[in-house]
Amino acid sequence: MSCVAPSSAHGPREVARNQTKAKPMTQTAKTPEITYSAFSVQDGRKGQKSYWTRIGRLFPHEDGKGHDLVLNALPVNGRIVIRQDEPREQAD
């Protein structure tokens, strides 16, 4: 009777590759990052407010030389506005 170890759906090479890419999590004292949200803005009718719909977020790269824009939707009119998020007030 032989004993066979269960294999993953990706095969043994994929498992080994995933194990070597794992990075240990470290805790560092970072200053809070400035975060941004992406909005689709549609102008309102005459005298009415515009409609702002949050459609994604903008995340800075760790090296500070770029950003990733992650969109959950696309604007119909092609206009995307990026705004700095307001800091949340701490509950007492």
Q: How confident is the model at residue 52, as a pLDDT?
A: 92
The more confidently predicted of residues 49 and 13 is 49
Integer Cα distance of 38 and 83 in angstroms: 7
pLDDT of residue 86: 86
| pLDDT above 90 for 54 | yes
Whether the per-residue pLDDT at 56 is higher than 90: the answer is yes
Please tell me the predicted confidence (pLDDT) of residue 18. 45
Q: Which residue has the tokens 């689709």?
A: 40
Helix (H) or strand (E) holding 38: strand 36-42
Retrieve residue 13's tokens: 């090479």
Buried b (16+ CB within 10 A) or exposed e, 11-49: eeeeeeeeeeeeeeeeeeeeeeeeebbbbbbeeeeeeee
Q: Please give the mean pLDDT across all residues of the chain.
A: 75
Q: What is the pLDDT of residues 26-41, one digit of tens each?
A: 444 454 567 899 999 9
